[in-house]
């Protein structure tokens, strides 16, 4: 019996443990932190051995195969030891993929993954397809493979998950965009991060499809020196394409395999240029899977968006409050500021991941009337924008940030939480940060 060791007792780890047990592995789960009580109960129910708050080397290094949760870096001591011993270390996606005959739609990119994944899932579900949602969101992919029987899975895939993929082969892959992010995990080399994203197409063949942003510089640069075997379906909002998705004034046109779909972007529920691109990617999937045009149009017009991503919270005294807590890098905040149509009080800050804020300079000059810095260390933000905006304030809790923003904002303005940074200095995660923002707005 092969020994499967799982590092990390969260959603993906427990899901992999359940599937591993079902497929006849001897399974052991080890988490250096504390395993959530609900997951402990599941592991006990399935009679799966586990430990937390430690890694017992003798119980880990004897593995035939290791599934590493995406949050654990390869630099961690136990992972280094496993690699030295030549024990295969893979991701949940890689582990689960061989145990299902379902089609998978794999979606990656620096920004827009969650929105595009949810929109694609919404399109396919509205068409009556038997579809599961997993990867970085929803229930663990492996868990669903163990317990459900979906025909299609729509998977949001981070670069960390793709790093542990070697044979995984999505039938349809989407690469939304690439901008510098998580470079601390990639030796601060942008090219390593780019290569990680392109792992999504490494095993695709001529029967598969790669949908990608034809306007993206990093993607274009990769294609100069590399090839994919998949059929390519580009999308662009800046040029007309003979094949793929283009924009003509406000009309989105998608041409795939002798089929054409058009829709006025004014009828799409999501707002902003970046969301037109997300819509193009999701609609291209629907086209390739031959979903009725009327179903696509209805789904695109009634989609409700993703929590913490340009989420309109409330309008108070003619001031709109928007929660964009999911914007944890410069590129995501660029999209947010770009979509602002009113003078903006911008709440920004958190754990800086090597951000270059100068990319936001022209948007800040044009749209931002005040900056509220919400973080433990705001020096870089203050140095960059201190001479650009008239009002700059530092706070270290969300209620103060929202109350001060309310004082600054005037009729017709927008208060935007788009932190541009990770949340771990003051919050559990970006959801906690967004929820605290929403609660503080509701308390005004």
User: Whole-model pTM above 0.95?
Assistant: no
Strand ordering across the sheet containing 231-235: 131-135, 152-156, 103-108, 172-175, 209-213, 231-235, 244-248, 251-256, 259-264
CA distances from 334 to 160, 323, 388, 415 (A): 23, 15, 16, 15
| 393 pLDDT above the threshold of 70 | yes
CA 442 – CA 426 distance, rounded (Å): 20
pLDDT digits (tens, 9 = 90+) for 128-166: 999 999 998 889 999 999 999 999 999 999 999 999 999
Q: What is the mean pLDDT of residues 266-285?
A: 93
- Average the pLDDT over each of 174-188, 309-323, 370-384 and give the range with the smallest value: 174-188
> CA quadruple 389, 394, 395, 396: dihedral positive or negative?
positive
Strand 251-256 relative to strand 49-52, pairing: unpaired
Give the per-residue SS3 of 172-237.
EEEECCCCCCCHHHCCCCHHHHHHHHHHHHCCCCCCCEEEEECCCHHHHHHHHHCCCCCEEEEECC
| 184 pLDDT above the threshold of 80 | no
To which H or E segment does residue 134 belong?
Answer: strand 131-135
Tell me which residue of 31, 29, 12, 40 sits closest to 139, measured CA to CA: 12
Q: What is the mean pLDDT of residues 41-65?
A: 97
Confidence of residue 253 (pLDDT cuts 50, 70, 90): very high
Average pLDDT, the chain: 94
User: How many Cβ atoms from other residues are within 10 Å of residue 58's Cβ?
Assistant: 6
CA 258 – CA 211 distance, rounded (Å): 17
Judge whether 126 and 299 are in contact, CB under 8 Å.
yes
């Amino acid at each position: 019996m092969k020994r499967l060791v799982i590092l990390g007792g969260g959603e993906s780890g427990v899901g992999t443990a359940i599937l591993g047990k079902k497929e006849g592995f001897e399974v052991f789960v080890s988490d250096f932190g504390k395993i959530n009580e609900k997951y402990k109960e599941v592991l006990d129910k399935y009679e799966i051995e586990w430990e937390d708050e430690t890694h017992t080397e003798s119980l880990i290094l004897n593995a035939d195969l290791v599934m590493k949760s995406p949050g654990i870096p390869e630099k961690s001591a136990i992972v280094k030891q496993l690699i030295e011993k030549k024990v295969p270390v893979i991701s949940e996606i890689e582990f689960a993929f061989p145990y299902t005959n379902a089609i998978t739609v794999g979606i990656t990119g620096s920004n827009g993954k969650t929105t595009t994944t949810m929109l694609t899932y919404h399109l396919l579900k509205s068409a009556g397809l038997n579809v599961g949602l997993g990867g970085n969101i929803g229930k663990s992919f492996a868990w669903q493979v163990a317990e459900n029987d979906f025909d299609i899975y729509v998977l949001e895939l981070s670069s960390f998950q793709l790093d542990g993929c070697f044979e995984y082969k999505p039938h349809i892959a989407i690469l939304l965009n690439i901008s510098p992010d998580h470079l601390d995990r990639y030796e601060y080399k942008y090219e390593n991060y780019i290569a990680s994203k392109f792992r999504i197409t490494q095993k695709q063949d001529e029967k598969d499809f790669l949908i990608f942003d034809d306007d993206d510089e990093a993607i274009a640069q990769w294609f100069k020196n590399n090839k994919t075997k998949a059929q390519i379906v580009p999308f662009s909002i800046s040029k007309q394409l003979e094949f793929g998705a283009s924009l003509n004034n406000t009309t989105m046109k998608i041409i795939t395999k002798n089929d054409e779909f058009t829709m006025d972007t004014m009828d799409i529920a999501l707002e902003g240029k970046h969301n037109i691109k997300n819509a193009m990617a999701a609609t291209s999937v629907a086209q390739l899977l031959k979903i009725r045009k009327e179903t696509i149009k209805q789904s695109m017009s009634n989609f409700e968006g993703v929590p913490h991503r340009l989420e309109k919270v409330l309008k108070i005294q003619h001031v709109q409050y928007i929660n964009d807590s999911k914007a944890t890098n410069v590129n995501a905040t660029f999209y947010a500021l770009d979509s602002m149509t009113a003078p903006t009080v911008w709440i920004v800050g958190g754990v800086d991941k090597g951000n270059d804020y100068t990319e936001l300079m022209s948007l800040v000059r044009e749209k931002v009337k005040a900056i509220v810095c919400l973080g433990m260390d705001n020096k870089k933000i203050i140095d960059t924008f201190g001479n650009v905006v008239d009002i700059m304030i530092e706070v270290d809790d969300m209620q103060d940030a929202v109350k001060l923003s309310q004082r600054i904002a005037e009729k017709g303005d927008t208060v935007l939480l788009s932190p541009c940074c990770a949340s771990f200095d003051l919050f559990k995660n970006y959801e906690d940060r967004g929820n605290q923002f929403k609660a503080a707005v509701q308390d005004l």
